[in-house]
Amino acid sequence: RKEVEQDPGPFNVPEGATVAFNCTYSNSASQSFFWYRQDCRKEPKLLMSVYSSGNEDGRFTAQLNRASQYISLLIRDSKLSDSATYLCVVTLPTDSWGKLQFGAGTQVVVTP
Amino acid sequence: SAVISQKPSRDICQRGTSLTIQCQVDSQVTMMFWYRQQPGQSLTLIATANQGSEATYESGFVIDKFPISRPNLTFSTLTVSNMSPEDSSIYLCSARQGPWETQYFGPGTRLLVL
């Protein structure tokens, strides 16, 4: 079983609509959670950290459910520029420095 | 945020040869990493590049195949040795910076081994 699992998509979303997707993680002791965004043929870039109480950054809302071991990302009022692959990232409690474990990504395609 | 550059950005190599990838960060960082990402796959950590000591390799990766140097706090190299077509991938340098130890990535090196 993979440490971090994501629905690969693609999620085809009309411009202006809302899209949400989840990511599950297998290690209940995982400590930190992030969403990264990766555009085609580009490097991953941090989109937002995910806090226990949930957090919002503009049109993006992230939630953490420790009991069910998943995190979610919701994008409101989708823009064409939101088309990308969204990587779920979890830090494993194996080392003091918190190794990042990446999911394979969820592809989002926003259409006009 | 840290600005990370990598050289070369891409290369096509013959099997059996070696390629050294350079990674430069615009500020001093404690932790630098090397990842590999194959098409449609997630990022896989190859090793942590430690300044002044040997790199720490993840399971499945060995120093003889992927020697790493870290001569100072802003620079690291990864060598892909004795390449085979299975080494064709994107190799990404990464570093942590800032009060929250945010992890940033370089633009990647696209390697194709024939």
Contact assessment for residue A88 and residue A63, using Cβ atoms and an 8 Å cutoff: no
> Is A8 in a helix, a strand, or coil?
coil
Q: What is the pLDDT of residue A97?
A: 64
Residue B37 burial (C-beta neighbours within 10 Å; 0-12, 13-18, 19+): buried
Residue A98 or A88, more confident: A88
Q: What is the pLDDT of residue A96?
A: 55
Backbone φ, ψ for residue A74 (5° rounding)? -120, 135
Q: How confident is the model at residue B23 (pLDDT cuts 50, 70, 90)?
A: very high
pLDDT above 90 coverage of chain A, percent: 77
Determine, for residues B41 and A43 on separate chains, whether the beta-carbon distance falls below 8 Å. no
- Span A42-75, pLDDT tens digits: 999 999 999 888 899 999 999 999 999 999 999 9
pLDDT at residue B79 tops 80: yes
| Nearest chain A residue to B101, by CA | A97
> Is B99 in a helix, a strand, or coil?
coil
Over chain B, what is the mean pLDDT?
93
Q: What is the pLDDT of residue A98?
A: 72
Nearest residue, CB atoms, B92 vs list A43, A99, A104? A43
Spell out which chain B residues touch chain A, with contact meaning CB-CB distance below 8 angstroms. Answer: 31, 40-45, 48, 92, 100-108
Mutation target to probe the B interface, by most B beta carbons within 10 A, among A39, A43, A89 is A43
Of A5, A14, A38, which is closest to residue A110 (Cα–Cα)? Answer: A14
Number of residues that make up chain B: 114
- Span B37-73, pLDDT tens digits: 998 888 999 999 988 888 999 999 999 999 999 999 9
Over chain A, what is the mean pLDDT?
92
Nearest residue, CB atoms, B42 vs list A49, A99, A102? A102
Per-residue tokens: A7 = 């629905």
Q: What is the pLDDT of residue A30?
A: 87
Mutation target to probe the A interface, by most A beta carbons within 10 A, among B10, B37, B43, B96 is B43
Of A103, A108, A100, which is closest to residue A30 (Cα–Cα)? Answer: A100
Shortest CA gap A1–chain B (Å):
14
pLDDT above 70 coverage of chain A, percent: 96
Q: How confident is the model at residue B97 (pLDDT cuts 50, 70, 90)?
A: confident
